[in-house]
């Protein structure tokens, strides 16, 4: 985990902009507080804030090849760097460090952009080739590590976070209405769009190249599913191979020159990864989790059960309404986009606990739900597609009751509520987003609060179509579950789970999350597992439970899935809630930003105050959090953004300047 940033002149040589790069590094120093470095020549400036995890002594960045013609600034890890190093050495490459960063440089020399297919990792990097004056950027297959860019005044800017780009005061800062439209449909934007006009995000599994005055992007990986599944293999066979791949993925992700801990939520996924870590260490394992004072969200009983079962030294934070309300503005500063849930906030506090315990690296269970069929949205899709074959059936929709036996409505109303809610879009099974229609309908209610000006800007924008670009050729021949998994991975996984709940809140505290379930080999294998072994009846992640039955207790394997959630609107309307909440939701503040209708928001706020000690509907909760987070984002990045002073190298013993003598 590191922070990278820099610029590239598109119109030829110019004076190096030392102050800009030092500002960029300073504003993301939270990502990598161990070392700072930069490279400059008359065309390019590269910056680095390093979190030292591999090769602590000689892995400083930016880093070059032997003759100093190829320079890199890199964020992330290449987990198979040891094997790649051996192969590259056998081909004549000479190394001066033991870092995975240098492996990228030599791999690019050897294979060009095809080097990306050799990497098993989570990464975002920029490579500058002085010989031909080109710049090459790339992002990992699943989008674990972020990378943003823009072009302004014939200069190309890039960085791990958008705030680096805003360190140049000439770059415009404006909210993108279409970005808000997509966030309040999908919970995220579809790359390259972000929440800010003109600021782009490099999509997962793609690269960007600037060469000979031309800028082009290309895709080197995407998630694919078969049209037909192997019916000859048994469930045991699939489970055994899944187990082997998961074990090897965990093994690779334990590579580090610092201690490695694990998140332990008490659910199946984190319990699986933590249990497998025990195969590779005799030392006491440190685990970390969140408990909630609101019992509706608390899983601490299961966390303690797994910690005791595995014999780990367990660390826990206890999160209250006030904790969420006080930390929420800081979370928005790091996520750089509106949120529709507060769930990233406890994870921000959890990563702070990890850092306070002197850990930099944790393994987590993220990704299992997306690739092995764990979310309710997948079971909903199976039921809805089954129901759609006979829309007039009275018993088919009753299957939904089995998904939500504890739905917070009266027993008499449960069936009618579920049928009415999930029948929406039932005739649209041919649409690419069929699986996500119920979720989108809930989230989209926030858009009713937009101001007339924003609504006018959005009249021709189709947020629903945002992720329909570049669908695989065979997409519409896939099963409904495969389609749902693809759309979920491309939207929520990359844009929210691995971003707002992942990189952004862990990097905020200089902690690196590693995700064994997102090893691309495991992802590609899981795509070939037949749907009936992913969800057996309505038993989610059946094949994973089968794979882990020797390592985990029956109570965890049989436990009813509890999705990770945190208190939402309740957190902001208690007697001890921070003053900023009512200030930023005031009529004056709303009129100043111009994004939302003050009258409509005022009615929602009154409702939230009135129901502060009970639970609002999902729609009202999402609307409140969406409005509050957008207002905070506009305040922090548009009206209240302050550039940091340059990071003066004289003030930091760990500043490395690799500039050309002429620069």
- Give the model confidence (pLDDT) of 276-296 as tens digits: 998 888 778 999 999 999 998
- pLDDT tier at 640 (50, 70, 90 boundaries)? confident
Is the pLDDT higher at 69 or at 387? 69
pLDDT in tens, 524-576: 999 999 999 999 988 999 999 999 999 999 989 988 888 899 999 999 999 99
- Helix %, strand %, coil % for the chain, to 5? 45, 15, 40
pLDDT of residue 409: 37
pLDDT of residue 400: 65
Per-residue pLDDT, averaged over 146-167, amounts to 98
Residue 236: phi, psi to the nearest 5?
-60, -40
Q: Where are the alpha helices (DSSP H) in 46-190?
A: 81-90, 100-111, 162-165, 177-186
Q: CB count, 10 Å around CB of 92? A: 8
Q: Where are the alpha helices (DSSP H) in 504-576?
A: 504-507, 520-528, 531-534, 542-547, 554-557
Packing angle, helices 300-310 and 268-277, rounded to 10: 20
Give the DSSP H/E element, type plus range, for residue 603: helix 598-610
The CA distance from 285 to 397, in Å, is 46
Distances (CA, A) of 589 to 186, 420, 571: 26, 37, 20
pLDDT of residue 615: 79
The verdict on whether omega for the bond into residue 192 sits within 30 degrees of 0, i.e. cis, is yes
The CA distance from 222 to 365, in Å, is 21
pLDDT in tens, 423-455: 676 778 899 999 999 899 999 999 999 999 999
- pLDDT tier at 352 (50, 70, 90 boundaries)? very high
Per-residue pLDDT, averaged over 266-284, amounts to 90
The CA distance from 355 to 30, in Å, is 11
Residue with tokens 């090769």: 55
Per-residue pLDDT, averaged over 490-496, amounts to 97
- For 465, the token pair is 């179509």
- Residue 281 CB partners (closer than 8 Å, separation 6+): 254
Residue 552: phi, psi to the nearest 5?
-120, 150
CATH class as words, domain 2-221: alpha beta
Residue with tokens 């003598």: 661
Give the DSSP H/E element, type plus range, for residue 262: strand 260-263
Burial class of residue 140 (count of CB atoms within 10 Å of its CB; 0-12, 13-18, 19+): buried
Decide if 2-221 and 235-371+494-557 have a common fold.
Answer: no
Residue 263: phi, psi to the nearest 5?
-80, 140
Whether the predicted pLDDT of 467 surpasses 50: yes
pLDDT in tens, 52-105: 999 988 889 999 999 999 999 999 999 999 999 999 999 999 999 999 999 999
Per-residue pLDDT, averaged over 337-359, amounts to 98
pTM, to two decimals = 0.95
Whether the predicted pLDDT of 222 surpasses 50: yes
Whether the predicted pLDDT of 396 surpasses 80: no
pLDDT of residue 425: 67
pLDDT of residue 662: 41
The CA distance from 467 to 189, in Å, is 9
The CA distance from 159 to 163, in Å, is 8
Is the pLDDT higher at 39 or at 655? 39
Per-residue pLDDT, averaged over 492-503, amounts to 97
Whether the predicted pLDDT of 372 surpasses 60: yes
Contact of 403 with 383, CB cutoff 8 Å: yes
- pLDDT tier at 509 (50, 70, 90 boundaries)? very high
State which fold the 235-371+494-557 domain adopts: Rossmann fold (3.40.50)
Whether the predicted pLDDT of 653 surpasses 70: no
Q: Where are the alpha helices (DSSP H) in 187-292?
A: 235-253, 268-277
Give the DSSP H/E element, type plus range, for residue 421: helix 411-422
- Residue 354 CB partners (closer than 8 Å, separation 6+): 261, 288, 315, 362, 506, 509, 511
Distances (CA, A) of 111 to 74, 82, 88, 119, 207: 18, 17, 10, 12, 15
The alpha carbon torsion through 249, 252, 257, 261 (nearest 10 deg) reads 10
Whether the predicted pLDDT of 410 surpasses 50: no
pLDDT in tens, 577-628: 999 999 999 999 999 999 999 999 999 999 999 998 887 888 999 999 999 9
Residue 9: closest CA among 133, 165, 171: 133
Whether the predicted pLDDT of 479 surpasses 90: yes
pLDDT in tens, 107-137: 999 999 999 999 999 999 999 999 999 999 9
Q: CB count, 10 Å around CB of 274? A: 27
The sheet carrying 44-50 orders its strands as 200-201, 148-152, 155-159, 2-9, 44-50, 35-40, 655-657
- pLDDT tier at 12 (50, 70, 90 boundaries)? confident
Distances (CA, A) of 164 to 22, 355, 483, 500, 644: 10, 23, 36, 17, 10
Q: Where are the beta strands (DSSP E) in 452-519?
A: 512-514
pLDDT of residue 192: 98
- For 104, the token pair is 């990228």
Q: Which of 317-326, 464-473, 645-654 has the lowest mean pLDDT?
A: 645-654
Per-residue pLDDT, averaged over 476-498, amounts to 97
Residue with tokens 């945002």: 466
> What sign results for the dihedral spanned by CA atoms 623, 204, 223, 466?
positive
| Residue ranges per structural domain of the chain | 2-221, 235-371+494-557, 375-485, 569-639
């Amino acid at each position: 985990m590191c922070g990278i940033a820099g610029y590239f002149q598109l119109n030829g040589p110019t004076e190096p902009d030392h102050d800009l790069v030092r500002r960029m590094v300073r504003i993301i120093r939270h990502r990598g507080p161990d070392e700072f470095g930069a490279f400059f020549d008359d065309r390019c400036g590269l910056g680095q804030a390093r979190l030292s995890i591999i090769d602590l002594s000689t892995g400083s960045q930016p880093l070059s090849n032997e003759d100093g013609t190829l320079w890199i600034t890199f964020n992330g890890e290449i987990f198979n760097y040891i094997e790649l190093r051996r192969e590259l050495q056998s081909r004549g490459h000479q190394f001066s460090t033991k870092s995975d960063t240098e492996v990228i440089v030599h791999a690019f020399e050897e294979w060009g952009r095809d080097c990306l297919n050799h990497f098993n990792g989570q990464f975002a990097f920029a490579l500058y080739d002085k010989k031909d004056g080109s710049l090459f950027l790339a992002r990992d297959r699943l989008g674990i590590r972020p990378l943003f860019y823009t072009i302004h005044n014939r200069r190309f800017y890039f960085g791990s976070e958008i705030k680096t780009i805003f360190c140049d005061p000439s770059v415009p800062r404006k909210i993108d209405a279409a970005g808000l439209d997509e966030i309040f449909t999908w919970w995220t934007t579809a790359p390259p769009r972000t929440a800010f006009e003109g600021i782009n995000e490099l999509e997962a599994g793609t690269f960007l190249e600037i060469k000979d005055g031309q800028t082009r992007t290309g895709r080197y990986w995407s998630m694919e599913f078969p049209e037909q599944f192997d019916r000859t293999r048994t469930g045991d066979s699939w489970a055994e191979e899944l187990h082997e791949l998961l074990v090897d993925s965990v093994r690779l992700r334990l590579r580090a020159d610092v201690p490695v801990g694990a998140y332990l939520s008490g659910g199946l996924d984190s319990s699986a990864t933590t249990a497998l870590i025990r195969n590779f260490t005799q030392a006491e394992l440190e685990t970390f989790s969140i408990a909630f004072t609101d019992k509706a969200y608390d899983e601490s009983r299961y966390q303690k059960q797994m910690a005791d079962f595995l014999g780990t030294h367990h660390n826990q934070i206890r999160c209250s309404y006030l904790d969420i309300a006080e930390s929420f503005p800081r979370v928005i500063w790091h996520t750089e986009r509106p949120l529709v849930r507060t769930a990233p906030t406890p994870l921000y506090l959890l990563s702070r606990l990890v850092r306070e315990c002197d850990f930099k690296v944790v393994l987590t269970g993220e990704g299992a739900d997306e690739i092995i069929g764990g979310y309710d949205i997948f079971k909903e899709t199976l039921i809805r597609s089954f129901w759609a074959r006979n829309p007039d059936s009275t018993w088919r929709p009753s299957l939904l009751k089995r998904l939500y036996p504890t739905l917070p409505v009266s027993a008499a109303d449960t069936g009618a509520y579920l049928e009415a809610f999930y029948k929406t879009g039932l005739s649209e099974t041919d649409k690419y987003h069929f699986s996500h229609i119920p979720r989108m309908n809930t989230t989209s209610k926030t858009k009713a609060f937009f101001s007339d000006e924003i609504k006018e800007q959005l009249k021709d924008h189709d947020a629903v179509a945002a992720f329909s670009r570049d669908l695989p050729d065979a997409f519409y021949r896939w099963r409904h579950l495969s389609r749902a998994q693809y759309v979920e991975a491309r939207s929520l996984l990359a844009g929210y789970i691995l971003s707002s709940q992942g990189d952004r809140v862990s990097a905020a505290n200089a902690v690196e999350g590693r995700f064994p379930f997102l090893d691309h080999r495991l992802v590609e294998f899981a795509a070939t597992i037949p749907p009936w072994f992913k969800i057996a009846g309505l038993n989610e992640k059946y094949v994973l439970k089968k794979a882990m039955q020797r390592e985990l207790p029956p109570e965890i394997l049989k436990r009813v899935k509890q999705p990770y959630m945190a208190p939402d609107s309740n957190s902001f309307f208690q007697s001890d809630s921070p003053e900023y909440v009512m200030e930023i939701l005031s009529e004056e503040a709303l009129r100043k930003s111009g994004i939302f209708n003050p009258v409509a928001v005022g009615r929602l706020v009154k409702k939230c105050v009135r129901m502060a000690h009970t639970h609002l509907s999902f729609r009202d909760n999402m609307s409140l959090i969406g409005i509050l987070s957008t207002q905070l984002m506009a305040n922090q990045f548009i009206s209240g953004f302050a550039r940091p002073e340059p990071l003066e190298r004289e003030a930091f013993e760990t500043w490395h300047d690799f500039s050309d003598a002429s620069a």
